């Protein structure tokens, strides 16, 4: 479903980084993008979302080109079939929980999806609250639901759980799994939390200083690391 061959120079805290990634991801997969801070994980997600442009290469999703450097083609984020959840929630402070979800609706779109998602992430009781009055876990549930209102095929999660405490993480992982299965999503989860990878995903992409260092089942990666150590 996703074909991605991208290169880009990044400026990080440890100097320059050459991101160079070729990867294919099948429809319906839940893939974890794992690696230390500054390895380029979030940049890959942002390139898929259209929030960052690669220097070279192409991105193709379901035979549709989203980006092609040579053809000078770039589909803006608005027209990519994605839902994105940001690390810092990024809820609109001026809107209620329901308002945040309804904002994502297009003109004349029916509200059925909003109702369904309010139930899926169990937020109906909080629908009239502003984000300022929600806990971290509740905020991230709103962000997850909001990202799904437009029924995207591709769900991009940028360290969605890193700001949450342990107990809350477990709950939210359940919500992510539920949505992933229920809506037939292809999901890419950026994380640096290994237990999370083991729990959620059957495939892990490990990034090390801009390159793909491992691609396969998470258990095998652990063994490989164990053998090395």
Partner 1 sequence: MLDFGPFILTLKLSLITTAILFSIGVPIAYWLAYSRHKAKVLVEAVVALPMVLPPSVLGFYLLLAFSPQNAFGAWLSEHMDVQLVFTFQGLVVASTLYSLPFMIQPIQSGFQQLPRSLTEASYTLGKGKMTTLLRVLLPNVRMAIVTGCILAFAHTIGEFGVVLMVGGNIPGETRVASIAIYDEVEAMNYDAAGIYSAILLVFSFIVLATVYLINFNQRKKAEMR
Which spans of this chain sit near partner 1 (rule: CB under 8 A)? Answer: 49-51, 76-80, 82-84, 86, 88, 90-94, 103-104, 106, 132, 146-147, 149-150
CB of 171 to partner 1, least distance (A): 22
User: Which one, 81 or 215, has the nearer CB to partner 1?
Assistant: 81
CB of 35 to partner 1, least distance (A): 21
User: Which one, 71 or 79, has the nearer CB to partner 1?
Assistant: 79
Count of beta carbons in the 10 Å neighbourhood of residue 131: 20
In which element (H, E) is residue 181 found? helix 166-182
Please check whether residue 190 is in contact with residue 159, taking contact to mean a CB–CB distance below 8 angstroms: yes
CB of 150 to partner 1, least distance (A): 6
CB of 169 to partner 1, least distance (A): 21
User: Which one, 123 or 206, has the nearer CB to partner 1?
Assistant: 123
Q: How far apart (Å, rounded) are the C-alpha atoms in residues 16 and 6?
A: 16
Select from 227, 203, 189 the least CA-distant residue to 24. Answer: 203
Maximum distance among all Cα pairs of the chain, rounded to whole angstroms: 58
User: Which one, 92 or 195, has the nearer CB to partner 1?
Assistant: 92
Q: How far apart (Å, rounded) are the C-alpha atoms in residues 10 and 195?
A: 28
């Amino acid at each position: 479903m996703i074909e991605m061959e991208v290169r880009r120079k990044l400026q990080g805290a440890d100097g320059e980084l050459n991101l160079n990634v070729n990867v294919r991801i099948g429809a319906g997969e839940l893939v974890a993008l794992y690696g230390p801070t500054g390895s380029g994980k979030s940049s890959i997600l942002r390139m898929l979302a259209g929030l960052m442009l690669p220097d070279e290469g192409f991105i193709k999703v379901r035979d549709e080109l989203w980006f092609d450097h040579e053809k000078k083609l770039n589909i803006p984020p608005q027209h990519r079939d994605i839902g994105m959840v940001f690390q810092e929630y990024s809820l609109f402070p001026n809107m209620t929980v329901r308002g945040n979800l309804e904002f994502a609706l297009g003109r004349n779109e029916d509200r059925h999806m909003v109702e369904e998602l309010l139930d899926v992430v169990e937020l109906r009781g909080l629908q009239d609250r502003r984000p300022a009055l929600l806990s971290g876990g509740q905020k991230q549930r709103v962000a997850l639901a909001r990202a799904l209102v437009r029924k995207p095929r591709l769900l991009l999660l940028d360290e969605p759980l890193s700001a949450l405490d342990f107990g809350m993480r477990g709950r939210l992982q359940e919500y992510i799994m539920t949505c992933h299965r229920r809506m037939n999503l292809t999901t890419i989860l950026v994380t640096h939390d290994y237990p999370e990878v083991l729990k959620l995903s059957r495939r892990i992409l490990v990034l090390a200083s801009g390159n793909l260092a491992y691609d396969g089942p998470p258990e095998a990666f652990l063994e490989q690391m164990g053998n090395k150590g």
